[in-house]
Amino acid sequence: MKLLMVFDFDHTVVDDNSDTWVIRSLPGQKLPDSVKSTYRKGCWTEFMGRVMNYIGEQNVSLDRVRGVMETIPFTAGMKDLLKFISAHDNTDCVVISDSNTIFIDWILNASGLRAAVDQVFTNPATVNESGYMEVQHHHSHDCERCPVNLCKRKVLELYLSDQLKRGVEYQQIFYVGDGGNDLCPTSCLRGCDVVMPRKGYTLEKLLTRQGRQQEDVSLRAKVVAWSTGTEILEELKKSLQS
């Protein structure tokens, strides 16, 4: 029996949005209105494809982009938390994010923390023949609550199913996130599990609202809000000692 830590990435592991942080690689550090105006609600991945295309058209090298991405700050206490997880064989760790594979790998590798994460589930990114970065949907799904490119509940359920086939069963799951797209996966957590929303962010507000309205019959997990990785680490240590 093991523990599983599930992390969102933007505004959770790192203390900003990796997709908007990349704009700092541009000479003027901002997008023109001609690009910003192309965003459509629910189609962020397609929008990021146009952003990366524009960055490439401005002759910004991938080395420059990588250098900028490697400066994104980690959330306070998160590095220590990931180092602790990495040192404990009975704790698995996955990231489920609406960022992309290249950004997350760059950031984790630069910090020396890539080995702390067993698997990353996010939108696949590649470099095309022109040297520009392209981003694709992680998968397709039929969940009406989630963005068209990613349902984190589906990802988590498939991961747990695959692990069970390998003989790995989790005694407890910690789900750590901040955003609206982190609400859906909380519905597949059990009473022994813990959902940890970041204080002051969308996920905490949604969970609080549902608790007041007593509509969330699907949420069985314990809710523990956090501000720093240190607080998450304290909760994890309590479970490991119990």
Identify the bridge partners of residue 228 per DSSP, sorted by sequence position: none
Q: How many domains is the chain partitioned into structurally?
A: 2
**Catalytic (active site) residue 142:** no
Query: Do 158 and 179 share a structural domain?
Result: yes
Query: Do 156 and 56 share a structural domain?
Result: no
Query: Do 32 and 101 share a structural domain?
Result: no
Q: Determine, yes or no, domain membership for 132.
A: no
Query: Do 26 and 141 share a structural domain?
Result: no
pLDDT of residue 85: 97
How far is residue 107's CA from residue 91's CA, in Å, rounded to a whole number?
22
How far is residue 123's CA from residue 117's CA, in Å, rounded to a whole number?
16
How many residues are recorded in the chain? Answer: 242
Query: Do 78 and 101 share a structural domain?
Result: yes
pLDDT of residue 216: 52
Query: Do 143 and 187 share a structural domain?
Result: yes
pLDDT of residue 64: 97
Q: Determine, yes or no, domain membership for 88.
A: yes
Q: Determine, yes or no, domain membership for 7.
A: yes
Per the structure block, which two tokens stand in for 70? 């490697």
Query: Do 181 and 90 share a structural domain?
Result: yes
Amino acid residing at 39: Y
SS3 content of the chain, % helix, strand, coil (to 5): 45, 20, 40
Query: Do 102 and 51 share a structural domain?
Result: no
Domain containing residue 78: CATH number: 3.40.50.1000
pLDDT of residue 49: 92
Query: Do 108 and 50 share a structural domain?
Result: no
How far is residue 137's CA from residue 44's CA, in Å, rounded to a whole number?
10
Query: Do 200 and 107 share a structural domain?
Result: yes
Q: Which of 158, 171, 135 is nearest to 2 (CA)?
A: 171
Q: Which domain holds residue 53?
A: 19-69
Task: Return averaged pLDDT per consecutive 10 residues of the chain, 242 residues in all.
Answer: 95 97 96 95 90 95 97 98 95 97 98 96 93 89 88 97 96 97 94 97 91 64 97 96 81
Active-site residue, selected from the candidate residues 10, 19, 178, 193: 10
Q: Determine, yes or no, domain membership for 189.
A: yes
- On the CB side of 83, how many CA atoms lie within 13 Å of its CA? 8
Query: Do 100 and 28 share a structural domain?
Result: no
Amino acid residing at 139: H
pLDDT of residue 199: 98
**Catalytic (active site) residue 8:** yes
Check: CB of residue 77 under 8 Å from CB of residue 228: yes
